[in-house]
Every structure is written in C-alpha cells, then in structure tokens.
Chain A
Amino acid sequence: MTSLAICGGSVLIDGATEPTRADVLVVDGHVVAIGGSVEVPHGGEVLDASGCVVGPGLLDLHAHLREPGNEAAETIETGSRAAALGGYTAIVAMPNTTPAIDCAAVVEQVLRLGRSTGLCEVLVAGAITVGRAGEQLAPMAEMADLGVRLFTDDGSGVQNNRLMRRALEYASALGITLAQHCEDSALAEGGVMHEGEWSARLGLPGQPSEAEELMVARDIALSRRTGAPVHFLHMSTAGSVELIRRAKADGLRVTAEAAPHHFTLTDAALSGYDTVFKVHPPLRAASDIAAVKVGLADGTIDAIATDHAPHTPETKERSMLDAPPGMLGLQTALSLALTELELPIARIFSLLSSGPARIARADDRHGHVAVGRAANLCVVDPSATWIVDAARLASKSRNTPYAGRTLRGVVRHTVFNGAATVVDGIARR
C-alpha cells in the first residue's frame, strides 16, 4: 500500500464552485478521503499545500512532443516533464511528427514511450489522413482500437471538402472526435502573421481571419450533415468564436479550445521581428483577444490548450518568412490563465482539466477531485508569482514568448496516478 496526503490546502471538489479547506488522502492511486484533517498512514508522504488550491490535474489537448523525428526540439520525456511542472497529468501528443502518427505502429511507439517516462499520461491524437497529406483516410479504426479518441491533421487543416465529409461520416461509427486546425491554405498562403494594421505596417504577408473562419463554418456545416462531433483547435478570431457560439445554440456536437497566447498576446508583438512570436494561427488583434476571453467565460470555448510547439534556437533564428511557427506553452498555461483571465478558479480548472478531459474522452480518470476517483491532482498557489526564465524551462527548446514576464500562479505539486511527479516545484524524475 502506498499513500500520500496533501495537507493544509483548499480543495476544489467535483461540483463545487469554490475550494474548501480540506486535506486529501490518496491510497494506491485513488483519492480515499477528503476532510478537515485526514489521518496519514505510517510511512505515507505528506505534501504541504498551505496557501494552495488542490484541483484536478490538468489535461492538455494540444502538445507537440516532436518525437519521433525531431528529438532535438523536444522528446516525449522532456515534454512530459514540462507538462508535470505545469500541473498537467495528461497531454495529447499531436500527430505531426516524422513519421506522422497515422498508423497503429507509431501510435504504439508513442504510447509506450509515454508510459515509460511515467510523468503524466501521454494520449495520442492520430492523423485523419495518411501522412497528414490530406488525400487518403488514415486507418482510424485501427488506431481507435488502441485507445486513440482524437484525430487531426494539425499543422494544417483538411482542405478537401469532400474528404472531410467522408472522414466525419466514417468517424461517426467509431466513437471518436475529429479535431480541425482551421486554416484555408489558399487564403492563408504565405502569411506569417495576422493580416491587418500591423502586417501592413511591418511589410509581412498576412493570414486573414477568414482563412480560419471559413473552415470553422465548413466543419460546422459538415458536423450538422453527418452528426459527427468536431473539435476546433486553437480558435483565434472573434468570428470563429461567434460561429461556434451559434453552432452550440443549435445543439450541434462542436467543442472548441483556445491557446493561452491567443488571449494574452496581440499581433503588435511582432513589431520587433522576433520570430518567437510567429505562430499559426497567428497572434490576432486586441478585439479578437477580447472575444476569445468572452468565449472562455461564457462556455463557448470548452478548453484552454497549449499548442506547445518547441523549436530549437537554430530553427527560430531564421527570418520571419523562414522560421517555423510555434511557441512553448506547457509550463505557463495555468499561470497565464490565472494572471490574465478574470474568472473563478473553478472555471479555470474546468477549462484546463475537466473540459479538455471530456473532449479527450479521458474523463474517467482525469478532471476530478472526488473520493474514489484516480488521484490526478494539481496543487497550485494562485497568488504566488514567478518570473519566466526561458533557460530554466524543462522543455528542450527555449521559444517561450513570455520570457521575463512576471506571472501569477505557481504550481507547487503535481500528483499523477497517486504518486507525486512534482514536489515543491521540482520534478521527481
């Protein structure tokens, strides 16, 4: 029997709108007691949570772990460590690796590497099309048999309308969800930032908002037609948020996520030509940020997902046209939500934990703080502050756009399957 107690904190119990003062006792991977004070079995570990909120472990729907293929930028192990330090107990590995995660063999490899690191649960998103080339359906049923529940060609959207319709029809029998990177390639072609006042001034080719919104509108129509669920990845424009709001009002099976950089940074950040701010979809205008924040507050957007996208310094030290898009996110997401969103902490945990856990169909084991549930927990001090130091992040890469920023919310401990992966802000392995 292994036991662990989290003492002195306020616990955000399932269904509660506010945390209540309590200790949590974990035995053999499950929460067995939540109460004013729990009796710690002999030899059990005690984690001090004074001043902290004990919430459900976070689940990231959108992490680029770069393995297999680009282990110089990140590995499943380093990405998992960054995740644990960020309060995550589960992450979904995106399939745009080399080779792409588009068949059972690669799914098995990633799942195996994830299990061997033991820092969090590594879930897999499979590709919708072979090689993410947008031409032929990938063997989704075969991957679903291995537990894959999300499928996406993320990095690009499925451009062909007929193929996307077929993919949704096929998926509707499998109990899976297709997730879309909404970017019409013809409209977005060559664009390296949001098209608008800043792109005009900076002389950089832009991606118009409509490049995203047209594909959101198309997939809403196709979801209506096929009855298959669609999850919208990294929503960045006011128009997209409104389309999803209306689709939900119509009772359609759509869900959406937003990335922290899309509610904290605007396209003005590109003005110094620092490629760390290059990301797809691009940083948008202040009015888009405001709309994303409203969507996060009113439930239009179900989840905050990082789009954690590590790139080595060498590849980011190219020109704005040539540098790859993407930024780190796993170790800053919770703090950014606490710093920038004026939302109750229960809503923040809903956006980072239970909401995404439902979309990933992993809510049997993630997104809960309740007796009898798996002990996947995040202990955060919501009022403590820290300064982001790119060199000290656990990721193999350094491309955080928040270097030097002071953020509120420090992850103190993370508990994964009943064992501490992070204690006092330090990863156990």
Chain B
Amino acid sequence: MLVAGLSAGVCMKHLLSIEELGADGLTHLLELTDRFVEVSERKVPRVPALQGKTVVSLFYEDSTRTRLSFETAAKRLSADVMTFSVSTSSANKGESIRDTVETIEAMGIDAIVVRHKAAGVPWQIAGWTQASVVNGGDGWHQHPTQALLDCYTIRARLGSLVGRSIAIVGDIKHSRVARSNVQAFIALGAEVTLVAPPTLLPPSLEGWPVKVEHSIDAVLGRVDVVYLLRMQLERTVEALVPSLREYTQIYGLTDERSARLHDDVLVMHPGPMNRGVEIGPSVPDRLNTVITQQVANGVAVRMAVLFELLTGNRS
C-alpha cells in the first residue's frame, strides 16, 4: 500500500501509518520538516510548492485542531483546499464512503486527508481513489502526523530520541496517538513505558516492545518525557475506571507531582487537555511543557508530509 522507504528514487504515495512509514521514512520526513519550520518563521510563511494542487480534508469525526493544522499547512504550500464537512454533507444522508470519495475525486484532487471513527478507513479509501491519502486519525488505530510532530518536538528539545525513556500515560487502549507514538518512538531508538490501569491497556501487548507500569509515580523519577493522554469522562460510564478523581490520584500529572519533576523532563499532550484530570492546572505553563510547540510543529510536519506526497512522484 504505502511505499515506505524514502531513499533515492522511492516515493510515498500515501501516509497511512507509522509502521508502514518505517524508521527511514520517519527520519526523512523529520529532516524535511526542518525546511518548513524555517518557512513558517518567515514574515510571509508561504511557498509556491503545491500551486495547482488540491487537498481535501474529509473529516467524518469532529476535529478542529488537526483539520486546521492540515489546512494551514496546505495553504502555506499554496495548494487549493477543500473542506468536506460531514455534518453538512450528503454523507449525513447515508451516502457511502466510497460514493463520497468518488464524487470528490471527480472534482480533480491530489490528496485526501481523512479522519474517521473507524480504524482502517484510510486503507479502504486508498483502494478507491487515485489521490494520495493521508491518515488524519482512524479510530483507535493510527494518527501518523501526530507521531511525527511529537518526534519532531522531542528531537528539537533533546537532540535525539536514541536511548531516551518515554512514558505514555493514560488511555492507551482507545488511543490512536499512543499506537502511532509507540511505533515511532521505538523506531527512533527510545524506550517506551505505558502507564495505565489494565482496563485502559490494549487487550494484548504481544509484539509491543514496551514496559508497563500501573502508577505514574513508578516512572516519574526515571523518564525524559512524560506524554499524557486525554482522559475522557465516558470511560467511567464504561466501568473502565471508577472515577476521574481516582484516575487523577494514580495517573494524573498533578501540580504536586510536576513540582517534583526534574526541570529537563519534557511534558507533552496531544490536546485537547482536561486540566485537573490528567494534567494539573498549572502544568501546561511549566517551562519544559511543550504542548504549544507541538501544535506549532504540527503545521510544519504536515507541510512536509503534503510536500513529500504531492511532489515526490515527479522527482
């Protein structure tokens, strides 16, 4: 499906998962991102690289930040951007995904950025279109550009991921961010510890080269990065945790725990945050909490991805 290697002469058609991208592909895109960080810092942050190209964002699930980030990235590359908003579209009237994709494709497009509540939809769409497909998040499965921007952010702060110890804390089971980041962090040489109650871990960790802990205090003294995941209130209804209060007691990076952290330790979060639940109210304002840098790097990473997919085939 995806041609993973980005070495000379090999080009990517789609970006569907970190696994398919591989370590070389990851590294290549992170290096490419440097160029677009530089573009983003210009007074007029725009280059004509994708003039004449059309990028569609096809979001079946609500998302403000990821959609805006992709659309901003496309615009800074001078691509035309179409937004397909499901709540106001025919998909809401029962049109199949395949029919929607074929309709959009008939308008002449080059890339589709898709988000869907169901894992696998980007793969299904890739089978139905000639355009490049970018996975903007599929169910609990993958969110490869989030992993890229997280890796980029860590590299920018720590130089490299090699040998670094990273704890991912929270609802791993339902998290596409966790699944992508586990693969990306490990591919780039980091050690990963998952910190979650057993109810919020995947039903099997067979083939996941990770450690597991069942309290955040077990890892805080020895990690370089604390990556917090959003904890949703619905999880208490599903009997996955008794209450958010108990979750915060065992897994929250509270202000008190944060005060004990070494200054160099990075604190990250993919957003949106629940202040007071997984993250203490003042933790986002801490010096090495890099949540806004993650967002900023997100645009540059997505510029790199769109640039690679839509120009790579010609070189």
Contact = CB atoms under 8 A, between A and B. Distances in A.
A43 interface: no
A200 B119 CA distance: 11
Main secondary structure of the interface of B (DSSP, over half): loop
A204 B202 contact: no
A318 interface: yes
B138 interface: yes
Interface string A260-284: 0000000000001101000000000
Contacts of A208: 203
Contact of B141 (A196, A203, A314, A322): A203
Chain B CB count within 10 A is highest, among A205, A206, A208, for A205
Contacts of A158: none
Interface stretch (B48-56, B120-128, B147-155, B301-309): B120-128
Contacts of A319: 97, 116-118, 120-121, 124
Interface string A302-323: 0000000000001001111110
A298 interface: no
Nearest to A194: B203
Contacts of A392: none
A426 interface: no
Contacts of A318: 96-97
B98 A317 contact: yes
Contacts of B140: 203-205
A331 interface: no
B119 A320 contact: yes
Interface in B97-153: 97-98, 116-121, 123-124, 138-142
Nearest to A195: B203
A342 interface: no
Chain A CB count within 10 A is highest, among B116, B124, B142, for B124
B48 to A, nearest CB: 36
Interface of B: 96-98, 116-121, 123-124, 138-142, 176, 179, 202-208
Given A202-B141, A203-B139, A320-B120, 17 more contacts: A197-B207, A199-B202, A201-B179, A203-B141, A203-B142, A203-B176, A204-B139, A206-B203, A273-B124, A314-B96, A317-B98, A318-B96, A318-B97, A319-B97, A320-B118, A321-B139, A322-B118
13 contacts: A200-B202, A200-B203, A200-B205, A200-B206, A201-B207, A203-B138, A273-B119, A273-B123, A273-B124, A317-B124, A319-B118, A319-B124, A320-B119
Interface of A: 195-197, 199-206, 208, 272-273, 275, 314, 317-322
